[in-house]
Amino acid sequence: MKPAICAWGQTGFSDTRPYYTHPVVELPELHMIMRHLVLHDACCSHCGGVIKAQMPPEASAGYGPRLTVLIGEVSGSQRSSGSAVQEFCQSVLGVAISQGAIQRGVDRVSEAIQPHYQAIAAKAREAKVNYIGETNWYQHGVLAWL
């Protein structure tokens, strides 16, 4: 940004130079992507039966994987209630979602990460030492003033 005016009313400075850089962090505008999957059916010319296209598994819940992961993160790692997640989805994302759909999303995320948790647990059980900290919190001066 260039200086606008000096104390004497002077404007239009030709010899400006940068003296400070001020970072400003901002979120990008969020625009939800709505896809409509059209499933077709057809009549088999050989047997006469009606064959229907199947819903892809990743679309069957009605919410895509990125939104599902965000719901899982806000619900799980951030320990938000269903109503708090519901309010977040509506106010921040502009998505109306039921608490039941939120819970189904959390369940899908839990199911997806289960193998990783099992692998971590197996490694921890195999370890010869579990590295539990034995230093008491009060030995670090927290209670020194007592």
**Better pLDDT: 36 or 138:** 36
Integer CA distances (angstroms), 146 to 141, 142, 143, in order? 10, 9, 6
Token pair of 121, please? 């647990």
Over the chain, what is the mean pLDDT?
87
3-state secondary structure the chain: CCCCCCCCCCCCCCCCCCCCCCCCCCCCCCCCCCCCCCCCEEECCCCCCEEECCCCHHHCCCCCHHHHHHHHHHHHHCCCCHHHHHHHHHHHHCCCCCHHHHHHHHHHHHHHHHHHHHHHHHHHHHCCCCCCCCCCHHHHCCCCCC
Question: What band does 103 get if pLDDT is binned at 50, 70 and 90?
Answer: very high
Per-residue pLDDT tens over the stretch 35-93? 999 999 999 999 999 999 999 988 888 899 999 999 999 998 888 899 999 999 999 99
pLDDT at residue 127 in the model = 83
Across residues 119-132, what is the average pLDDT? 82
C-alpha 140, offset from chain centre: 36
For range 18-34, the mean pLDDT: 92
Instruction: Report the alpha-carbon distance of residue 87 to residue 96 in Å, rounded.
Output: 9
Adjacent-strand bridge partners of 50: 43
Q: Rounded to the nearest 5 degrees, what angle is found at the Cα of 141, between the Cα atoms of 140 and 144?
A: 145
Task: Please check whether residue 1 is in contact with residue 13, taking contact to mean a CB–CB distance below 8 angstroms.
Answer: no
Q: What is the pLDDT of residue 100?
A: 94
pTM of the complete model: 0.65
Q: Is the model's pLDDT at 125 over the cut of 80?
A: yes
